[in-house]
Each structure stands twice: as C-alpha cells, then as structure tokens.
Amino acid sequence: MTDPSPPTKDRLLEAAEHLFASRGFDEVSIRELAAAAGVNIAAVNYHFQGKENLFHEVCARRFSAQRDRTLQALEALQKESNPPPTLAMVIRTLVNEYLEGTLAADGGPGFLMAVSRELHEPEACDRGAMFKNMIQPVFSSFSSALQNVAPQLDPDQMTWIIASIVGQIHHFIMRWVKKEAMDPQNETYGIMLRIFPVLGEPLPVYIEQVTDHITRFTTAAITGMNREESA
Amino acid sequence: MTDPSPPTKDRLLEAAEHLFASRGFDEVSIRELAAAAGVNIAAVNYHFQGKENLFHEVCARRFSAQRDRTLQALEALQKESNPPPTLAMVIRTLVNEYLEGTLAADGGPGFLMAVSRELHEPEACDRGAMFKNMIQPVFSSFSSALQNVAPQLDPDQMTWIIASIVGQIHHFIMRWVKKEAMDPQNETYGIMLRIFPVLGEPLPVYIEQVTDHITRFTTAAITGMNREESA
DNA sequence: AGAGAAATTAAACAACCGTTTGAATTGTGT
DNA sequence: ACACAATTCAAACGGTTGTTTAATTTCTCT
C-alpha cells in the first residue's frame, strides 16, 4: 500500500482545499476540482457523495488543524510558569496562533471568508456540532487561561471580551489582500496586509504589527475595564 | 407623472434590496427578482444592463444612506458642546449608528454580509471609489471627533484603533441570527442577537448591550494605551 | 391623430451547473 | 487464474442560470 501518487480521494481533498480557499464554494465547479486533482468528474460524487460534503470535509480538516494548533500553544504557555505568563502573553498567544494559522495556510484569508459565509447560511452544515467540536474547546482553553492571569475577571464578561478579540482578528484577516513573501527564510512574517488608513494610500504592514496592536489594545481594554469597575 | 404605482425601475430596486439582503447575490436569480417586483424578466437587463449592475446600485443606495446617517450623528454630537462630548460618547455614537443602521434596515445583517463578500472578490466593483466615497468620509469625521476628545492620541494609531472598532462591530453584526420585535413601540431595541458563550446555550441580548460593551471596551483600551505610553 | 421613442412582453438562447448512468478498468482474495 | 468487488471513465441527463431577441404595447410630443 505504498502508492507513489496519493489516492484519488486525497488528491481531491487537497485540490478542493486550495480552490475553495481561493475562490469560495459557489465559484468553483466540480469540473474544476476534478481537473485540478487530475481525476474524473464523477469521482467527487463517488468518494464524497456530492460537492457539499466535500466542502464540509475540507472545512473539518482545516478547522481541527487550527484548533489543535491553538490549543497546543495555549497549553504550552500554561506550563511554562517561570516567569508566569502575563495577561498580555495569553492574549498574544491566541492572536498570534489565529493570525498565523489562518494567513500562512494555503489560500490565506480566503478559507476563513468562504467558511464564514457558509456558517451563516441555512442549516446546510451542523453549526451546533461544528461550534461544539471546533470553536468551543478553544474558547474554553483561552477563557481559563485568561482567568488564571486575571482572576478578578467577571466570568459573565468573558464571552463579550472573547467576541471583541475574535472580531478584531477576523477583521484584520479579511483585510488581507496580498500575499508577499518578503524573506524566503522566514516567509510567515512576509505575509502582508494593506489596511485602509483614515487618509492616504493603503498601508502595508506585517503580521507582527497586527498582533502587537490587538494585544496592546485588548490588554489595555481588559485592565482598564477592571480599574473602572473597582473605582 | 404622478404614477400611483412606482415605475418598474424603482420596484425592481426595492425588491432587489430586500432579496439581496436576505439571501445574498448568488442565491437570488433575476427570475425571482422580477417575480418579486412584479415585472418582466428582461426588465433587469433593460434598466440596469445586468444583474451585477443592479446589485451595485442597491449597494450604493444603502451605503450612502448609512454614511449620511452616521455623518449626521457625528456632526450633531460635535455641535452640542454643553456638556462637551466625552471620548465614550464619540465612540458610542459611531457604534450605535453603525449597529442600528445595519440591523434595523431591511434584511438585517444579511446585506452587510452580502456586500462584504462582494468587496473582497475580483475587481467586480470599483473598491477604490466605493471606499473613497462611502467609507473614507465616515472615517475622517470619526477620526477628527476622536482627536477633539483625545488630543494626545497619536494620529498614526488612529487607523489601527478604527480598525479594532469596526472589527468588533462587524463581528457582532455577523452574529445576529434572529430578529424579534419585543416591544412594538420601540422595536429597534427588540432586535436580538445570539452570541456563542464560552459555555452553555446561545445568549439573547439587546443592541443596547452590544453598544455598551463595545463602547466600554474601546474607551478603556484607548485611555489605557495612552496611560501606558505616558508611563 | 399619428409618428417615433420608450417600455414591456413571451419566448428562446447558449452556457454551465451538480449528479447519474452503465460500461470499462483496476485491484483483491482464493 | 478466476470470480468478485472497488474504482475509474466518457457520456449524457435534467435543470437553472444570465442574457438576448423580436414582436407588441404604452407613452410622448407635434
């Protein structure tokens, strides 16, 4: 069973991941998928029982990869207790893993955009299960990590704070319009973003700068809200 | 020229605004549009030279309405100088206008989602002109309002801060899944959102609560970042 | 009233979609 | 080597899409 070229199903998954990420679900036909994978058109329905199912499998693969990556980073941060992690470090870890994982992956921000649209459509996919299996674990882990470094944090506020963080992250991801590898040796940090400034031309920035900003902004917000409440 | 029933073009625009907002661009055919407007199928191409153009006109209408609404609110806030507006009030004004204008409108969050997808696709629409005419004015007005209440604010940071605010707003809008008029007399505040909590079931909240959170979060972030810098 | 532009109509068009069919091919276990 | 299942294949199916056509109706102006 040592196939030199991977089986049809895997090649289809790989091609689908790339095409769906770069062009969205509706915009890519199964004829394109089959051509890109070098397989017959009927293979999609034979192996996945329809285009929709193939898309769901691709989503599940990438979601779980992103989830595992983030959980691992948060876990590692919790373990290294010398020096103990700070609030800013916990936030930075989540933001960094989210941005890097989403932008460095094949297709860049396209996949997040494709899946976010699908998530808000009719009950095509089981959003409840998707959320419970993919998103909830990350939320829980991040939430408890936050509690550790900011014990005074009101648990009721946790949901709101996480929403504000995720909102910022998604917004910056959606604004990524160009992918340029500046330094071949460290290409992750070469991915660039052009955000629209208040005035003037779009501004090219690095992932690092975005991580820095969200971390500083969010850390200041959390500590500030605490200070305000105890006053 | 006192037509009792509006001309074909207007009825088409109205039906298109509703349908595009609730189901997206791809998911609604021009046959549905024509049927909903009670006109012939060919009317779309006769009056708008294609489905795409009709969508752009709908977008332009709603974008400019949202822009005018927000600009007006910010302007009004600047004029009433007794008591002079605070940082929190400026932020609250932008957030409130954005949320109310987007969610109370026909189709609710659907339109923002439909247009945000379109904005990131190939050069179908002139994003440069769209940004310059629709978004840039609001950014400028909001930016100068912020400068007035927080003169120490670094202009270079303004772009980042606005991005963080807009990111939060969009995220909460996207999470709106249900529209319920709780109080017929004040139906705007009856629109509800179900955000995914860290644990447990989706939580129904009011627009007011979202506005409060974003305002407090952002205000604390800005003042906190300032404090941190001057330390 | 009548000529000419504008608007509306039913019908057809060509292209593409996701899926299915049934035969041909490849792989597997005995 | 043989029977049988799993897979691949070219071809076609039924349906929908956005757009166009050409005839007809409605409106406008002299």
pLDDT at B195 over 90: no
**Confidence at residue B190, expressed as pLDDT on a 0 to 100 scale:** 47
Q: Per mean pLDDT, which range of A11-15, B201-205, B209-213 is the poorest?
A: B201-205
pLDDT at B113 over 70: yes
Supply the CATH classification number for the domain B55-225.
1.10.357
Q: Per mean pLDDT, which range of A101-115, A166-180, A214-228, B186-200 is the poorest?
A: B186-200
Q: How confident is the model at residue A180 (pLDDT cuts 50, 70, 90)?
A: very low
CA angle B184, B186, B191 (to 5 degrees): 85
Looking at the partner chain, which of A26, A120, A171 has a beta carbon nearest the beta carbon of B113?
Answer: A120
Q: How confident is the model at residue B3 (pLDDT cuts 50, 70, 90)?
A: very low
**Confidence at residue B62, expressed as pLDDT on a 0 to 100 scale:** 92
**Confidence at residue B187, expressed as pLDDT on a 0 to 100 scale:** 46
Under an 8 A CB cutoff, do A223 and B218 touch?
no
For an interface test with A, the pick among B111, B157, B165, B198 (most A C-beta atoms closer than 10 Å) comes out as B198
**Confidence at residue B189, expressed as pLDDT on a 0 to 100 scale:** 44
Q: How confident is the model at residue B128 (pLDDT cuts 50, 70, 90)?
A: confident
DSSP A199: S
Domain map of chain B by residue range?
55-225
- Window A21-60, strand C contacts by Cβ < 7 Å: 28-32, 41-42, 44-45, 49-52
Of B85, B84, B80, B70, the C-alpha closest to B141 is: B70
Query: Would you list the DSSP string of A7-26?
Result: PHHHHHHHHHHHHHHHH-TT
Q: Is A161 on the interface with B (CB under 8 A)?
A: yes
Q: Per mean pLDDT, which range of A38-47, A196-205, B189-198 is the poorest?
A: B189-198
Q: How confident is the model at residue A175 (pLDDT cuts 50, 70, 90)?
A: confident
Q: Tell me the mean pLDDT in the region A18-46.
A: 95
Q: Tell me the mean pLDDT in the region B150-162.
A: 91
A187 neighbors A51 (Cβ within 8 angstroms)? no
Looking at the partner chain, which of A116, A139, A203 has a beta carbon nearest the beta carbon of B159?
Answer: A203
pLDDT at A2 over 60: no
- Cα(A166)–Cα(A172) distance, integer angstroms: 10
Q: Per mean pLDDT, which range of A174-178, B97-101, B140-144 is the poorest?
A: A174-178
Nearest-Cα distance to chain B for A222, in Å, is 7
**Confidence at residue B18, expressed as pLDDT on a 0 to 100 scale:** 95
Q: How confident is the model at residue B1 (pLDDT cuts 50, 70, 90)?
A: very low
Q: Tell me the mean pLDDT in the region B130-143.
A: 91
Residues A42-90: tens digit of each pLDDT:
999 999 999 999 999 999 999 999 999 999 999 999 998 778 899 999 9
Q: Is B223 on the interface with A (CB under 8 A)?
A: yes
Residue type, A23: R
Distance spanning both ends of chain A, measured CA to CA? 68
**Confidence at residue A181, expressed as pLDDT on a 0 to 100 scale:** 43
Q: Per mean pLDDT, which range of A30-44, A212-226, B171-185 is the poorest?
A: B171-185
- Cα(A24)–Cα(A17) distance, integer angstroms: 10
Q: Tell me the mean pLDDT in the region B129-153.
A: 91
Q: How confident is the model at residue B193 (pLDDT cuts 50, 70, 90)?
A: low
- The residue that leads in pLDDT, B92 or B79, is B92
Q: Tell me the mean pLDDT in the region A92-98.
A: 97
- The residue that leads in pLDDT, B58 or B200, is B58
φ and ψ of B109, to 5 deg: -70, -15
Under an 8 A CB cutoff, do B217 and A159 touch?
no
Under an 8 A CB cutoff, do A220 and B219 touch?
no
Q: Is B160 on the interface with A (CB under 8 A)?
A: yes
* Mean of the per-residue pLDDT values of chain A: 86
- Cα(A129)–Cα(A107) distance, integer angstroms: 25
The residue that minimises its CA distance to C1' of D9 is A40
Which of the nucleotides lies closest to B43 (Cα–C1')? C8
Two tokens, residue B7: 């001309």
DSSP B190: G
A164 neighbors B168 (Cβ within 8 angstroms)? yes
Q: How many residues does chain A have?
A: 231
Which of the nucleotides lies closest to A27 (Cα–C1')? C17
The B residues from 52 to 111 touching A (CB cutoff 8 Å) are none
φ and ψ of A71, to 5 deg: -60, -40
For an interface test with A, the pick among B25, B138, B164 (most A C-beta atoms closer than 10 Å) comes out as B164
DSSP B178: B
Query: Would you list the DSSP string of B82-145?
Result: SSPPPHHHHHHHHHHHHHHHHHHSTTTTHHHHHHHHHHTSSTTS-HHHHIIIIIHHHHHHHHHH
Two tokens, residue B208: 């007011």
Q: Tell me the mean pLDDT in the region A112-122.
A: 74
**Confidence at residue A107, expressed as pLDDT on a 0 to 100 scale:** 79
- The residue that leads in pLDDT, B74 or A108, is B74
- In this prediction, what percent of chain B has a pLDDT beyond 90? 58
Q: Per mean pLDDT, which range of A99-103, A114-118, B126-130, B190-194 is the poorest?
A: B190-194
pLDDT at A207 over 50: yes
Distance spanning both ends of chain B, measured CA to CA? 68
- The residue that leads in pLDDT, B7 or B40, is B40
Q: How confident is the model at residue B188 (pLDDT cuts 50, 70, 90)?
A: very low
Question: Residue A28: helix, strand or coil by DSSP?
Answer: coil
Chain mean position to CA B117: 14
Protein-contacted bases of chain D (C-beta within 7 A): 7-12, 16-22, 28
- Cα(B192)–Cα(B182) distance, integer angstroms: 9
Of B108, B97, B207, B172, the C-alpha closest to B141 is: B97
